[in-house]
Structure 1
Amino acid sequence: MLKLTETHPTTTSVDVRVIGVGGAGCSSLIRLQEFGSDNLSMLGIDTGSAAQNLPVDVESITIGNGFGSGGNSETAVYQFSEVEIEVEDFVEEADVVIILAGLGRGTGSGLSPRIAELARNAGALTIAAVNMPFEFEGRFRNQSAVAAHSALKSAADAVITMNNDDLSKLDSAGSSLNGAFQLADLNIANAVRSITTELESSPERRSAVLQSLAQAGDSVVLSGVADGLHAGRTAVSAAFDSTSTEFGQVASVVINVEGGIGLSLGQVAEAVTEIRTRLGRRTEIHVSSQRLIGMGQEMKVTMLLAGVEFVPTVEELPTRVKERPAAAPQVSIFETTAPKRTRGPVLLPTG
């Protein structure tokens, strides 16, 4: 039986601390604060000016000379040694540490795995929410992001991965590249809200969610909005349609449903049924809801898929006579094919 219960913060909330790393991570902190996350302790770290532009109530650390890492993650790691003790103090005694970053080159890729190690060594449940670069940003940047993502998977309990290429499927990101990056910030902020909402509910639910996220590995956040009679099913469908990723097995799903005056048990049950249809009955599901009168008839479903096994979407290249070691699945997803010559060389006259 599904019981609709509205989620309210408990008197003894979990100590959740959020760290934004690099320009993208600090930008996500700003968007997160706009949602009114007053109960979160937040810290921004950057080698450039991003940390200096954070709100006054968000802690910030600028490392190096303040002019960035020059796209070199090793430089960022070297500069981080100067402030490592300050970050250790920030994550000390935290129950959950959430790391926000954009991967590719530079500060986010270099520091995120190291910060995850510090948080996990402090005994905190460590979750990283990261954006992978657009494919058009180039082979080198994408391969650097894949390497950083692999390091994060070893250092953190769960890595929530969002691909910037999926943003092109949403109309709101079609107007400009800046709009796409703003939407990326919004997606990461939604991921944090989904997690913290669950953790601030009843102790029983909190325990179940923490257990689901512990060593969850690859994770994904999906979000959809709809209204009308079948808003629950439509919102879930919109969420899955917003990504090109195909999912195999999914260990657990944390669902947060937000709705206005029209939110009903039937809509929530319809959303859960649609998720069951898409993921199968073996997936463990945790559901919570919030009634926000200002949303009117609108309904928003945010889903955190934890322990995800991805279905490969990139076709294998034709095999050659000489066998090569198989590439890791994560690498094959983001790699682009090698450039090919389209015409022969031009021969210059010798005389």
Structure 2
Amino acid sequence: MIFELEENGLQTARMTGVGVGGGGGNAVNRMIEDHLGGVEFISVNTDAQALAISKSDVKIQIGRKLTRGLGAGARPEIGRQAIEENRDEIAAAVQGADMVFVTCGMGGGTGTGAAPVVAQMARETGALTVGIVTKPFLFEGRRRMKQAEGGISELRKNVDTMIVVPNERLLAVVGKGIPFQDALKKADEVLLHATQGIASLITSTGIINVDFADVRTVMQNGGAALMGTGIGRGENRALEAAQQAISSPLLDNVSIAGATGVLINIIGGDDLTLGETTQINDIIHDAVGDEAEIIFGAGNEAAMHGEIRVTVIATGFDRVLSGDGAMVVRPAAPAAGVLSFPSTRQRPSS
């Protein structure tokens, strides 16, 4: 069943965020600290100590017999085996959710091994399932990177849409002089913004509202996705934020042209105007092309007075490896029933 956000607030889509492993748990903690609304949080881990300090209301320790609460030792096969002990508990936790975000830091043991199984169980319930994960820094070693790539490949098979944030690209944002712990916090922030960018489209009531059916249209079977963010200030803040979002280092130098679906989330203060939201939408529409299904929402946050933050999530890409091993993005065929429409129009509520 698909739920829509009604103006009276009586019927809303139920969204669940599942942080798997240490990296996923840290990301969920960051989302809770930032008061991300409308999402229920679950932390899943083999590490009992990490779960003890989790801020999630629901905490599930997996693989008690296998790991004795001591973690997976950076071995994905242990993470996969551990979750088998708790399949029923995980399935019960995600049952009834309309949308499930599965987040983790790929490359370790628990997240890499268990996240694909969590996603599989969520998707089997009929939930729209989105994977939002990070890839390790290069200095973390070839083995960890290889494990991450294997985990990403497995997770991609079990989600509707997959967003991968390469930690190495964060260095282009924050610089190489940043302390390591601060760099990891920045990665958590990116995962927060990705989840927030999708969730707040559904939960926020503001200048332009979007319902869950719209989001599902773009993200169901969306495949590989790209995400960019931008913040604008001053007289040309709308232009600045939009251009930053579509040229974000997090896009890994890949154009969003050719995407079959695009979500645009615009957040500003009480001074955000309809004209600015239209300008942002038009800029991104021009970058994507005329054939994409574009869903955009705009809302207000008091703390954003004088600023505009734009999050763009482009879906419908088929990622393949070129002959030299470089990552190439080719647009996938549009899904049946997905129609294009001008950037300044909103689809009527269904």
* The two structures share one fold, judged by TM-score above 0.5: yes
Ranges in structure 1 where 5+ consecutive residues have no aligned partner:
1-6, 318-326, 331-351
Which residue does 2:46 correspond to in 1?
47
TM-score in terms of structure 2 length:
0.82
Query: Is contact 1:249–1:310 with CA below 8 Å preserved after alignment?
Result: no
Query: Is contact 1:232–1:271 with CA below 8 Å preserved after alignment?
Result: yes
State the shift of 1:148 in Å. 1.1
Kindly provide the CA deviation profile for residues 76-130 of structure 1, in whole angstroms up to 9, marking residues without a partner as x.
2112222111001011121111101011131111001111111111111111100
Which residue does 1:181 correspond to in 2?
184
Distance 1:38 1:273, change over 3 A: closer
Query: Is contact 1:245–1:310 with CA below 8 Å preserved after alignment?
Result: no
- Matched to 1:140, the amino acid is R
Which residue does 2:235 correspond to in 1?
229
State the shift of 1:291 in Å. 1.5
State the shift of 1:211 in Å. 1.4
State the shift of 1:172 in Å. 7.1
In structure 2, what is the Cα distance between the partners aligned to 1:151 and 1:328?
Answer: 20
In structure 2, what is the Cα distance between the partners aligned to 1:169 and 1:8?
Answer: 41
Which residue does 2:249 correspond to in 1?
242
Kindly provide the CA deviation profile for residues 299-318 of structure 1, in whole angstroms up to 9, marking residues without a partner as x.
11111212234597x8x55x
Distance 1:249 1:174, change over 3 A: farther
In structure 2, what is the Cα distance between the partners aligned to 1:291 and 1:200?
Answer: 12
Query: Is contact 2:101–2:130 with CA below 8 Å preserved after alignment?
Result: yes
Kindly provide the CA deviation profile for residues 176-215 of structure 1, in whole angstroms up to 9, marking residues without a partner as x.
1111110111111111112112223689732121111100
State the shift of 1:273 in Å. 2.2
Kindly indicate whether residue 65 of structure 2 is the aligned counterpart of residue 59 of structure 1. Answer: no
Ranges in structure 2 where 5+ consecutive residues have no aligned partner:
1-5, 329-350
State the shift of 1:74 in Å. 0.7
The number of residues matched between the two structures is: 314
Distance 1:38 1:230, change over 3 A: closer
Query: Is contact 1:17–1:41 with CA below 8 Å preserved after alignment?
Result: yes
- Matched to 1:28, the amino acid is A
Which residue does 2:332 correspond to in 1?
none
Which residue does 1:253 correspond to in 2?
262
Which residue does 2:25 correspond to in 1?
26
Distance 1:58 1:173, change over 3 A: farther
Query: Is contact 2:29–2:56 with CA below 8 Å preserved after alignment?
Result: no
Which residue does 1:264 correspond to in 2?
273
Distance 1:187 1:193, change over 3 A: same
Which residue does 1:346 correspond to in 2?
none
In structure 2, what is the Cα distance between the partners aligned to 1:235 and 1:83?
Answer: 44
Query: Is contact 2:210–2:295 with CA below 8 Å preserved after alignment?
Result: no
State the shift of 1:241 in Å. 3.1
State the shift of 1:276 in Å. 2.2
Alignment of 1:150-161 (within 5 A): 150-161=153-164
Structure number with the bigger relative contact order (C-alpha 8 A, sep ≥ 6) is 1
TM-score in terms of structure 1 length:
0.82
Kindly provide the CA deviation profile for residues 27-81 of structure 1, in whole angstroms up to 9, marking residues without a partner as x.
0111111121353221101112322211263434253322211111111211222
Which residue does 2:218 correspond to in 1?
212
Alignment of 1:116-155 (within 5 A): 116-155=119-158
Kindly indicate whether residue 16 of structure 2 is the aligned counterpart of residue 17 of structure 1. Answer: yes
State the shift of 1:173 in Å. 7.2
Which residue does 1:115 correspond to in 2?
118
- Matched to 1:133, the amino acid is P
In structure 1, what is the Cα distance between the partners aligned to 2:7 and 2:235?
Answer: 26
Query: Is contact 1:52–1:60 with CA below 8 Å preserved after alignment?
Result: no
Distance 1:38 1:301, change over 3 A: closer
Distance 1:192 1:241, change over 3 A: closer
Helix, strand or coil at the partner of 1:246: coil
Helix, strand or coil at the partner of 1:262: coil
Alpha carbon RMSD of aligned pairs, Å? 2.5
Query: Is contact 2:20–2:114 with CA below 8 Å preserved after alignment?
Result: yes
- Matched to 2:263, the amino acid is V
Query: Is contact 1:246–1:311 with CA below 8 Å preserved after alignment?
Result: no
In structure 1, what is the Cα distance between the partners aligned to 2:9 and 2:204?
Answer: 6
In structure 2, what is the Cα distance between the partners aligned to 1:88 and 1:57?
Answer: 16
In structure 1, what is the Cα distance between the partners aligned to 2:121 and 2:50?
Answer: 22
Match among 71, 76, 85 for residue 73 of structure 1: 76
Kindly provide the CA deviation profile for residues 278-304 of structure 1, in whole angstroms up to 9, marking residues without a partner as x.
222222211111122332211111112
State the shift of 1:22 in Å. 0.5
Helix, strand or coil at the partner of 1:44: strand
Query: Is contact 1:173–1:183 with CA below 8 Å preserved after alignment?
Result: no
Mark the structure with the bigger radius of gyration. 1
Percent of residue pairs bearing the same amino acid type: 26
Query: Is contact 1:26–1:45 with CA below 8 Å preserved after alignment?
Result: yes
Query: Is contact 1:246–1:310 with CA below 8 Å preserved after alignment?
Result: no
- Matched to 2:248, the amino acid is D
Helix, strand or coil at the partner of 1:282: coil
